[in-house]
């Protein structure tokens, strides 16, 4: 279990802090009284996500690509390494299929550089990894002991292998340099501040629904996902960073649903009468048919499980998208 008494006022480096998850996480950390340094090159992040922090003396932003050497003046106590493209959509300019070299570099060089900062300051380190390290899983739901079913040269490999390498070098630094490191394997997460053109299923569906368009579902829509609201994920990351646990840990919502069920729910919540349009299945063959985390380890080691139901989380996300779409 987490000992919250360990938490003091820290100076924390967050790579990718202008991104969707990163910006929510730094809001939480600032609320806890910490001082935050964000390093982000804004390739997939946005200053809109952190604009509300302008003038906050505990917040400092540096525009920089962490694939290059990272210099941070002053002591750093903790590093949260979130920098990476994350959308698998090949039609999104922010997806890793459009940014293959950058994705590999930030997973390898960026993680190496961030770990170098951690070693220089003897700082604790948390890697934001992904459920994609499991590939198209042959085990369901996925436990942390599952080694994965991953194609190292397929279209998704630039992201999958970048994160698998990031995990490997993180564990190497823990074992060889005796660094205190954590690894969070993040499953599908959604919420306010996701890019409208992100390309993942929930932003796609909400934008289509609010525009009065049919929701486009590939194939029969029976492929499944489990969706974790960003506030729940941030709580899990916060508990993990305060814990003494060093093995990989799944953070996600174990409630599984089909893509077709999700489409019908969003249409109903938005009052969209355009229905669903089924398209020929053009998805990547390595795109997992099923995705659901086993969170027994998170429940045992962190006392964590998601608390926000899908309907509540979707409503908050829909409201945010309405505001930004005008």
Q: Which residues are catalytic?
A: 159
Strand partners, 1: none
Cis bond before residue 257 (omega within 30° of 0): no
Other CB atoms within a 10 A radius of the CB of residue 285 amount to 10
Burial label for 301, CB within 10 Å (0-12, 13-18, 19+), is middle
């Amino acid at each position: 279990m987490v000992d919250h008494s360990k938490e003091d006022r820290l100076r924390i480096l967050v790579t990718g802090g202008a991104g969707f998850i990163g910006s929510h996480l730094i809001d939480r950390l600032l609320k806890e009284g910490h001082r935050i340094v964000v390093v982000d090159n804004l390739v997939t992040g946005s200053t809109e996500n952190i604009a509300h922090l302008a003038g906050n003396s505990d917040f400092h932003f540096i525009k920089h690509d962490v694939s290059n050497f990272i210099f941070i003046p002053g002591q750093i106590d903790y590093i949260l390494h979130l920098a990476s493209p994350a959308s698998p959509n090949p039609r999104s300019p922010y997806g890793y299929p459009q940014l293959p070299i950058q994705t590999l570099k930030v997973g390898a060089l960026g993680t190496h550089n961030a770990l170098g900062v951690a070693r220089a300051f003897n700082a604790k380190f948390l890697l934001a990894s992904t459920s994609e390290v499991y590939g198209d899983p042959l085990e369901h739901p996925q436990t942390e002991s599952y080694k994965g079913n991953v194609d190292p040269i397929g279209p998704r490999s630039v992201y999958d292998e970048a994160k698998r390498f990031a995990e490997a070098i993180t564990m190497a630094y823990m074992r060889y340099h005796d660094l205190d490191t954590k690894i969070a394997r993040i499953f599908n997460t959604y919420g306010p501040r996701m890019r409208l053109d992100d390309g993942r299923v929930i932003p796609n569906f909400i934008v289509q629904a609010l525009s009065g368009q049919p929701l486009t579902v590939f194939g029969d829509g029976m492929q499944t996902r489990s969706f974790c609201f960003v506030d729940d994920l941030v709580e899990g990351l916060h508990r993990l960073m305060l814990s003494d646990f060093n093995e990989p840990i799944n953070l996600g919502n174990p409630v599984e649903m089909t893509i077709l069920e999700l489409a019908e729910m969003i249409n109903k919540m938005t009052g969209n009468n355009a229905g669903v349009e089924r398209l020929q299945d053009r998805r990547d063959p390595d795109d997992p048919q099923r995705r659901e985390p086993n969170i027994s380890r998170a429940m045992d080691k962190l006392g964590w499980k998601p608390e926000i139901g899908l309907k509540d989380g979707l409503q908050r996300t829909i409201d945010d998208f309405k505001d930004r779409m005008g």
